[in-house]
Structures are given as C-alpha cells and as structure tokens.
Amino acid sequence: MDQVINNFLEEVKRRNAHEPEFMQAVTEVAQTVLPYIVTQEIYHGKNILMRMVEPERVVMFRVPWIDDQGEIQVNRGYRIEMNSAIGPYKGGLRFHESVNLSILKFLAFEQVFKNALTTLPMGGGKGGADFNPKGKSDGEVMRFCQSFMTELFRHIGPNRDIPAGDIGVGGREIGYMFGQYKRLKNEFTGVLTGKGISWGGSLIRPEATGYGAVYFAQNMLGTRGESFDGKSVVLSGSGNVAQYAAEKCIQLGAKVLTLSDSSGFIHDPEGIDTEKLAHVMYLKNVARKRIDEYVQKYPKASSHKGQKPWGIRCNIAMPCATQNEIDGQDAQTLIANGCYCISEGANMPATPEAIAQFHHHDILYAPGKASNAGGVAVSGLEMAQNSLRYNWTREEVDQRLQDIMQDIHQSCVTYGSEKGKINYEKGANIAGFVKVADAMLAQGVV
Ligand code: NDP
C-alpha cells in the first residue's frame, strides 16, 4: 500500500512542484483515501483521486488600484475552481500578504471534501489575493475590492461559483465586492455569501464557523459522556471564527482562557466572559487594533508577544487562526498539559507531526474539513434563502446548523470507526471522497 501512495504522491508532486501546502493537504487525504479505494471495486481503473487533485480551472489576474497617496499599487488575484461534481463552486476569498497558488489550492482541495460533508449541493473553490488589508483605509479597501471584482465578476455567478469570506475578508469586504458585482451585472443575485442581513444575508452566518466547530466538539465529547460545561478552552485567533467559537464556549459554560493574533496571544486566567468578548469584538472589528490592547482594559490578563497559546493548560484546544499553527512540539505540550479534545476552526492548523501525536494519544481530534464546515453550510443555507427570496429565523438557521454538524459527526463515525475508536480524519476524508467520486463517475470523463 505504501508503494501505491508513494507513486501517487510522486506524480502529484511532479506536477505541483513548489506547492508545499497543497502537497500537505493532498498527502493527508491520499494516506486515508487510497487504502479505501483499493477495497472498493467501483473506483478501480478510474484514476479518480488524480482527477480530484487537478483543479477544473485556475484563474489568475492583475488587480491594480490607487492608494490614498495617489500611488498605483498592483496585487495578484486568484480563483481556483476545484470541483463542480456535486454543485456550483463554493468557497471563500482570502486577502492576506501570504496568499499564493499553493495556499489557495490546498484550501480549494479541502473545500471539496468539506462541502460534500455538509450534505448540501456545493462544489469546491477558493480564491483571494496577496493584498494585506491591515493598516489600509476604508477607501483603499473599497478601491481594491472594486478592482478585484472588476475581473472576478466574469468568472462567478449564483449558479456557477459563489465566493464568501475568509482571512481578511469580512462583512465590509463582501459589501464592497457585492456592490461592484451588482453594478457590473446590473442584477441583484446571491453571488456572494456572508452578505449583510438587510441585503440578502442569512442570520447566524457570521457565527456559523465558530459555533459549528463548538457543536462538532460537543458531539465528540458526547461520545465520552462529556460536555463543555466547566471545561477550560484555549483558542487561537481573534477574528471571525475565534470570536464566535469563544461566544459559544462561554454560552455552554466553558472558560475561555486565550485569544491571539499574528502579533501574539493574551491569557486571561479568570476567563474571557461575554462582556470581555464584546470588547474584543470592538477592538478587532471596529477599532481594528491588536489583541494585546485587551490587557490595557483587563490588567489581570497577560500579553505574550510573538508567542502561540498552546503552552496554557486546558481541556480543549481550538485553533482558529491559520494553517500549520500547531506543530509536533505544540501538540506534545498540549497533551502533556491535559488537553484531550482538539476541534479545528481554521483550515489545516495542525502539521502532520501534530496530527500523528493526536492519534498516538487517542485525543478527540476533528480536522477542519469536518469541524469548520458550519460556515460553508450556513452559506449554503444563505443561497437557499436567496433562491426562495425568504429569510429563516435565527432559531431555524441555528437548528439546521446543529443538525448538519451532527450529521457530519455521524459520517465521520460511519467511515472512521476502527478498533473501538473514531478516527475523524479518516472518516471525514472517506465520507467526502465517496460523495464526490460517485457523482464524478456518474457524469463520465469530464
Ligand atoms: P479573520 O481574518 O477574521 O481572522 C483571522 C485571525 O487569525 C486573526 O486573529 C489573525 O490575526 C489571525 N492570523 C491570520 N494569519 C495568521 C498568522 N499567519 N499567524 C498568526 N495569526 C494569524 O479570519 P477567519 O476568522 O475568517 O479565519 C480564520 C481561519 O478559519 C482560517 O484558517 C480560515 O481559512 C478558517 N475558516 C474560516 C471560515 C469563515 O467562515 N470565515 C470558514 C471555515 C474556515 P491578525 O489580525 O493579526 O492577522
């Protein structure tokens, strides 16, 4: 079996040299899916996984814009349309200086499996630009978004490709891009998700990824007869996903000890409660400041510049910032300090070495493609509401989100149970693969 996997990965690497994040994501899937394919005759001779790692289409484009000093700037924009076997391409846009083809292809590849797991009819895609919104004025962000959409609009549409937010793309950016799309096309359609409530958005969409990651962890804890009540939680990030993961943890009676951003983390031993979280939301969403300003208002908390929060003792860890933020050493530290449940809010936040540690120590470990699928799931519900020209209540959307996270958990149990344990990574990969591969087989060689 090792030889089959190695040969496959060698061929993928030959075509995708210099794309380490993409290779990391493909390797993780190949190691669990290829052994499954070998046992299933219907997939033999179809080269199905090789077809899945090749994007259906990649668009790269120039994004010129003018800054507040009147200088002309230029960035690079992308859209990866990875797989449309089960529905139109769907996936977020990331604006961050680190964005490149490798990172977006890894995200698009993961998105295909994630979207399949949601049970909703959505293919997978991802896009973005190497634009850094930090420190830019509203006017600069608007001009960038308008220029970005002036090219992207010809490749997307409500039945073709429906982008959403991701790192650096929140409600403000979605608004500017939606406005430009509407102007260019002269039509009001649900072409983006994460829209404002008064112009086609869904209730619970901002909360969905963070809430969903907590609901998934709740399901995992349930397999051991446990809940969030009284547990300590270490969270990374302080953006959209981290904020609402924290909110749901607090609602369920857990104590949230940390939050972070790219400049370091803050540790509040008394717990970040609802009032303190509201201040974080103000700092990050309105004032657009660094997380260490938290300690100015709450001096019993400490700020740790340039560090990650994984050294803080906890029961549950939720990485909600970015890829590869927990390495093998961080994983060992977490486990040594008593952490036994990891639910990924971010995409691919754990390195392969960290994941090996989680499996070795029987940690309840949920890969992002399962545990953070709540965001795209509610995006799917936003699309459904746009088509219906109707809005569901907060309670209705939240209930659907909880049901979907429970279904995803069940799919992982179905395909990932082995020797009395649940391997959520294997379960998520195989469940997602089966749905997409079966649709691809039915549709012929296209
Ligand atoms: P935001 O931009 O709202 O927040 C990102 C947070 O992560 C910020 O606190 C940011 O700090 C921090 N961060 C970003 N890059 C780094 C880095 N290189 N090192 C340390 N910290 C970093 O993004 P989201 O909350 O939307 O996304 C967070 C993660 O969740 C991403 O992996 C994303 O792909 C994933 N995700 C998001 C979904 C969504 O619905 N938004 C859906 C599914 C997954 P700073 O402000 O300093 O940059």
Q: How confident is the model at residue 329 (pLDDT cuts 50, 70, 90)?
A: very high
Is the distance from the beta carbon of residue 321 to the nearest atom of ligand 1 less than 6 Å?
yes
Is the distance from the beta carbon of residue 237 to the nearest atom of ligand 1 less than 6 Å?
yes
- Nearest-CA residue for ligand 1 atom 20 is 262
Question: Mean pLDDT across the stretch 173-185?
Answer: 98
- Nearest-CA residue for ligand 1 atom 40 is 375
126 is catalytic: yes
Round the average pLDDT of the chain to a whole number and report it: 97
**Domains along the chain?**
1-49 (no CATH), 55-187 (3.40.50.10860), 208-371 (3.40.50.720)
Encode pLDDT of 403-436 as tens digits. 999 999 999 999 999 989 999 999 999 999 999 9
Query: How close is the Cα of 319 to the center of ligand 1, in Å?
Result: 10
Pocket test for ligand 1, best of 209, 241, 263 (most atoms within 8 A of CB): 241
The pLDDT, as a whole number, for residue 262 is 95
DSSP, res 79: E
Question: Mean pLDDT across the stretch 325-330?
Answer: 98
Q: For 385, what's the count of Cα atoms within 13 Å in the CB-facing half-sphere?
A: 27
Its pTM stands at 0.96
Query: How close is the Cα of 388 to the center of ligand 1, in Å?
Result: 31
- Nearest-CA residue for ligand 1 atom 46 is 261
Question: Mean pLDDT across the stretch 308-331?
Answer: 98
pLDDT more than 90, % of the chain: 99
Is the Cβ–Cβ distance between 232 and 314 less than 8 Å?
yes
Encode pLDDT of 239-271 as tens digits. 999 999 999 999 999 999 999 999 999 999 999
User: Which residue type occupies 391?
Assistant: N
H/E element, 294: helix 294-297
The pLDDT, as a whole number, for residue 413 is 98
- Nearest-CA residue for ligand 1 atom 3 is 239
Encode pLDDT of 198-241 as tens digits. 999 999 999 999 999 999 999 999 999 999 999 999 999 999 99
Encode pLDDT of 280-315 as tens digits. 999 999 999 999 999 999 999 999 999 999 999 999
Residue 354 above 90 pLDDT? Answer: yes
The pLDDT, as a whole number, for residue 120 is 96
Name the catalytic one among 126, 195, 231, 255: 126
Q: How confident is the model at residue 42 (pLDDT cuts 50, 70, 90)?
A: very high
Is the distance from the beta carbon of residue 240 to the nearest atom of ligand 1 less than 6 Å?
yes
Show Cβ contacts of residue 44 under 8 Å, excluding neighbours closer than 6 positions: 37
Question: Mean pLDDT across the stretch 162-177?
Answer: 97
Is the distance from the beta carbon of residue 239 to the nearest atom of ligand 1 less than 6 Å?
yes
Q: What's the rounded Cα separation, in Å, for the pair 324 and 331?
A: 11
Residue 332 above 90 pLDDT? Answer: yes
- Nearest-CA residue for ligand 1 atom 23 is 167
What ligand 1 atom has the least distance to the C-alpha of 260? 9
The pLDDT, as a whole number, for residue 346 is 98
Is the distance from the beta carbon of residue 326 to the nearest atom of ligand 1 less than 6 Å?
no
Residue 149 above 90 pLDDT? Answer: yes
Query: How close is the Cα of 323 to the center of ligand 1, in Å?
Result: 9
Q: How confident is the model at residue 1 (pLDDT cuts 50, 70, 90)?
A: confident
Query: How close is the Cα of 241 to the center of ligand 1, in Å?
Result: 7
- Nearest-CA residue for ligand 1 atom 10 is 261
CB atoms < 10 A from the CB of 197, how many? 12
Is the distance from the beta carbon of residue 320 to the nearest atom of ligand 1 less than 6 Å?
yes
Query: How close is the Cα of 2 to the center of ligand 1, in Å?
Result: 35
CA distances from 27 to 31, 102, 116, 224, 384 (A): 6, 14, 19, 30, 34
